[in-house]
Structure 1
Amino acid sequence: MEEIIDRCAKLKLLLREDVEVAIQAPLTEEGLVLIGKFCTKRKINLESVARVLRSVWRAEHNFEVNDLGENKVMFLFQSKDDMERVLLLNPWSFDKYLLILHKMVRGEAVKDIKYDRSPFWIQIHGLPTMCQTKEVG
């Protein structure tokens, strides 16, 4: 083992290998990417997801669906209106599993996203009329 450590310690980059690489920002318009995570341990069929969500979301322009592994999916929209409508009509589910959506911002890494929040719609029946205020809600 020590022999391997000694050999690795002697490794050095040649001058032509010691070059910095500039990473260009993506050419996509800011904020047209949603990252989704399905709340299930079962593997999700991405083809079915894409087919169903295209019909349910009724986007005017097409959007790409890419598998990120671990039941995470990237949705790349061509239209800001389509993406905003999808976010506005949250929450979504597929095959009875919650789909948590997160709007990506420039410089954010997928591995750093926490999927711990999702909006929900609720109804309260039988609430007295005088209690139907914003504060009570």
Structure 2
Amino acid sequence: MADESRFPHDDQPAVESDEHAAERLATPEQWAAMTFAPVLIDLNKFGAAWEQARGVVARTAIELLRLDDRALTSHFMAQDAPLMEPMETYRALQDEVEYLKTHMEALETASTRMLCVASRCVERRSS
């Protein structure tokens, strides 16, 4: 029950960020006029090992989320060292959160670039 307070209720209006409000104010023509340079990224950093690491953490989170508090407690209490595994899992999840924060700006930039390109495509089709 305590988790419910972290999520907005359906009857409350969603809070819009300043960034999203600004995006709505730009016209398709303004988005189409924006320019950007390429970002040099070593694709080798994002190979099979990277995908495996992200997948392991995602699967762990899914397994944890599928259990209620009693089942999760029982799972860890059944371990030889009941405190060790949850603390290691906690640290791994927190490390992943911090890692993903470093990628949020890149994802936002890529998303904005797609909006620019989509605006150009709309502008071209209407010409």
> TM-score category by the smaller chain?
under 0.3
* Length-normalised TM-score, structure 1: 0.21
Higher normalized helix content (fraction of residues):
2
Larger Rg, first or second structure (1 or 2): 1
Higher normalized strand content (fraction of residues):
1
* Length-normalised TM-score, structure 2: 0.22
Task: Tell me: higher relative CO, structure 1 or 2? Use CA pairs within 8 A at least 6 residues apart.
Answer: 2
